[in-house]
Amino acid sequence: MHNHFNGLKTAALFGVMFAVLLGIGALIGAGTGSSMFIWLFALIGIATTAYGYWNSDKIAIKSMRAYPVTEQEQPEMYRIVRDLSAKANQPMPRLYVSPTPAPNAFATGRNPENAAVCCTEGILRLMTERELRGVLGHELMHVYNRDILTSSVAAAVAGVITSAAQIMLFFGGGRERGGNPLAMIATALLAPLAAMLIQMAITRTREFDADEDGSKLTDDPLALASALRKLETGTQRAPLPEDQRLVNTSHLMIANPFKGGNLKKLFSTHPPMDERVARLENMAGRPLGR
């Protein structure tokens, strides 16, 4: 079991999210006399989830304009990923590089057999080999932990909740059936916010998991801690533009790629770097740099 019970936290967060969805379904059924709409949007959510899940690697690679690289072009990256994949007894993923100075990395793919790992040119210039190994260990664990499926399901359920809440507003609270219009409108407004916050909490929990499991894979938590410190500074100096395609895939990246103030950090899909570094230092039994 993970030291921070991240798997249990993820399951609990999903439970809360599904409870919100079922509650909205019950209110729609009470207000309209039919649960058809909630089932309709559930089916739409499943369809969009399936598409995103099966094409997650293509979507993310395209959004970052990444290109495949050979071992001759990126020998260090190949050496690290090959070693870690063999250590985890998993197949070698496809490797890509994104032509952007913003330092970042991500892994995607529905399973280890269909995985891709991408580094930006910025992170390859910024990291030492030891730090890059820590980053790539983190990214590989996202694939091995099936986090693409987890994030896809969370996004789909959040989307269904938002759509169902819009239906509640459209029907005006079901006044003709004696429902409480104020309660339904309040639920319709608050439910999407709750879904978004739960989705972010799930993503943050999976980041902690990848930090922990990746550090166990590399046997070097302080290397990842050092890399995260560099990324915290590097992403602020060279942020990605907030293009919608990049926003849609930003949760896959090891660090929040956008420049933002305190409010944006509050609603970020990534945990605070200080907390991530502190956990890694705790794993190592000593602070970074000592």
* 42 belongs to a structural domain: yes
* 160 belongs to a structural domain: yes
* 69 belongs to a structural domain: no
Question: In the prediction, which pLDDT does 1 show?
Answer: 39
The total number of structural domains that make up the chain: 1
pTM, entire model: 0.76
Examine the pLDDT at 172 and tell me if it is beyond 60.
no
* 227 belongs to a structural domain: yes
Examine the pLDDT at 278 and tell me if it is beyond 90.
yes
Share of the chain above pLDDT 90, in %: 40
Residue 61 structure tokens: 């690679």
Please tell me the least confidently modeled range out of 104-118, 124-138, 175-189, 228-242.
175-189
Stretch 19-24: mean pLDDT: 70
* 71 belongs to a structural domain: no
Examine the pLDDT at 91 and tell me if it is beyond 90.
yes
* 139 belongs to a structural domain: no
Q: Residues 31, 174: contact at Cβ < 8 Å?
A: yes
* 110 belongs to a structural domain: no
Question: In the prediction, which pLDDT does 66 show?
Answer: 95
Question: In the prediction, which pLDDT does 259 show?
Answer: 76
Specify the 3-state DSSP secondary structure of 265. Answer: helix
* 119 belongs to a structural domain: no
Query: In which domain, by residue range, is 219 found?
Result: 6-64+144-284
H/E segment holding residue 98:
strand 94-98
Q: Could you give the residue numbers annotated as active site?
A: 139
Q: Residues 131, 223: contact at Cβ < 8 Å?
A: yes
What is the C-alpha to C-alpha distance for residues 73 and 178, in angstroms, rounded to an integer? 68
pLDDT-derived band at 174, boundaries 50, 70, 90:
very low
Please tell me the least confidently modeled range out of 41-45, 59-63, 117-121, 200-204.
41-45
